[in-house]
Amino acid sequence: MPAITAYDKAPRVPASIAQAATERVIQIRRITKVTAGGKTMRFNALVAMGDGQGHVGIGLGKADAVPDAVRKGVAVAQKNMIQVPMKNATIPHEVLSKFRASKVLLKPAVPGTGVVAGATIRAIMELAGIRDILTKSLGNPNPINLTKATMEALANLRFSNVDVVEQSKNGISVIDEKE
């Protein structure tokens, strides 16, 4: 039994916001179950949903046909949408997250950088509305574990109350702090 993650604990977005979100299929897999009576084919669909305003969620649907699996994945993604803290068009701070054998590093970027990410992480970032970010996937490239590690990283983000920090020989000093 996997441990409870920050993504599991994160507050969910209301259904009214989730209804207006767009969806993107990240992966479709064909699964075969071998029984005494033969082989049974089914499909998995990994779906991400987001509204481009800092709300994003993922869902894994399983069914006998691809359209049914996608529909179930969309329903799960709508229920699992969370709000992502954003600072302009990037994230407030660097975060490293791990889910099973996959690790994801997310770094804020200056405006104009774009989304520097692989296909799996890029889909989630674009749906969340993050336009400037640097990412690196480490470890296993399995899309299911990679999306869960990405969502874990986004759930671990916190708003910063410090606007500008100056580092000198004497240490770190706060120049401008938000109230």
Give the pLDDT confidence score for residue 160 in this predicted structure: 66
Reported as a pLDDT band with limits 50, 70 and 90, residue 171 is low
Note the pLDDT tens digit of each residue in 97-155: 999 999 999 999 999 999 999 999 999 999 999 999 999 999 999 999 999 999 999 99
Q: What is the pTM of this model?
A: 0.84
The stretch 8-36 carries a mean pLDDT of 90
Token representation of residue 124 = 């989630």
CB atoms within 10 A of CB 65: 11
